C-alpha cells in the first residue's frame, strides 16, 4: 500500500481534489501514513493517464480551479487487488532503537535526554490520537474504529516500554 493505492482507496468514498485527499490522508491515516503534495499531485496526474481515475475541472474565481478526481472501474480494481494482496511488510527502520544501540558511545546526560525526547514524541502521538477521537466516533466504520483502538494500545504499550527503559537507565546512572 504505497501512496498511490492509498489515494485510490480514499477515492472510494467519492470524488475528491488532491487538496482534499491530503487532508483526509493526514487526518484519518495520519497515525500510520502520510503524504506530501509533492507526491500527491504527480501521482493523481499519472493515475489519470493510466485510466485509474478521471478528472473534472471545477472553475473558480480568484482561487485556482479545482481538479476533482473520480475513481474508474479499473482504478477500483487496482485498489481492491492491492488490498487483498498478501501482506508484506517492508523492512522496519526504527530511529530510536538505532540510537539506543549506540548509547554506549554517548555521554551519560544525553542518554536520558534522548529517551525523554522519544517519550515526548510518543506523547505527541497519543495526543494526536486523542484529538482524532471525536472524528472516529462520528465517521469511522467498524474497521477504522478497530484501527484506532489498535493505534491507542500501540502507543500506550510503546510509552510503557520507553518508561521502563528510562527507569532502567536512570538506575544505572546512580549506581
Partner DNA sequence: TGACGCATGTAAAACGTTACATGATTTG
Partner DNA sequence: CAAATCATGTAACGTTTTACATGCGTCA
Return residues touching a second copy (CB under 8 A): 1, 6, 9, 12, 28-29, 31-34, 80, 83-84, 86-107, 110-111, 114, 117-118, 121, 141-144, 146-147, 150-151, 153-154, 157-158, 161, 164-165, 168-169, 172
Contact at 8 Å (CB) between 153 and 122?
A: no
Contact at 8 Å (CB) between 13 and 64?
A: no
Q: Does 92 bind DNA (CB under 7 A)?
A: no
Q: Does 49 bind DNA (CB under 7 A)?
A: no
Nearest-approach distance from CB 45 to DNA, in angstroms? 6
- The β-bridge partners of 13 are none
CB of 63 or CB of 93, closer to a second copy: 93
In the structure grid, which three cell numbers stand for residue 130, read together? 486523542
Q: Does 39 bind DNA (CB under 7 A)?
A: yes
Q: Does 104 bind DNA (CB under 7 A)?
A: no
Contact at 8 Å (CB) between 35 and 155?
A: no
For the beta carbon of residue 109, count every other beta carbon within 10 angstroms: 8
Amino acid at each position: 500500500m504505497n501512496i498511490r493505492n492509498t489515494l485510490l482507496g480514499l477515492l472510494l468514498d467519492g470524488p475528491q481534489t488532491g487538496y482534499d485527499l491530503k487532508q483526509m490522508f493526514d487526518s484519518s491515516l495520519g497515525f500510520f501514513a502520510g503524504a506530501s503534495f509533492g507526491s500527491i499531485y504527480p501521482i493523481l496526474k499519472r493515475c489519470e493517464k493510466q485510466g485509474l481515475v478521471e478528472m473534472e475541472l471545477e472553475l473558480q474565481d480568484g482561487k485556482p480551479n479545482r481538479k476533482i478526481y473520480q475513481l474508474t472501474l479499473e482504478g477500483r480494481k487496482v485498489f481492491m487487488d492491492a488490498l487483498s494482496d498478501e501482506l508484506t511488510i517492508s523492512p522496519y527502520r526504527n530511529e530510536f532503537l538505532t540510537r539506543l544501540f549506540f548509547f554506549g558511545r554517548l555521554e551519560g546526560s544525553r542518554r536520558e535526554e534522548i529517551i525523554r525526547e522519544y517519550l515526548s514524541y510518543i506523547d505527541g502521538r497519543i495526543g494526536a490520537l486523542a484529538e482524532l477521537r471525536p472524528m472516529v466516533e462520528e465517521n469511522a466504520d467498524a474497521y477504522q474504529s478497530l484501527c484506532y483502538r489498535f493505534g491507542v494500545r500501540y502507543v500506550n504499550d510503546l510509552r510503557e516500554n520507553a518508561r521502563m527503559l528510562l527507569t532502567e537507565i536512570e538506575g544505572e546512572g546512580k549506581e
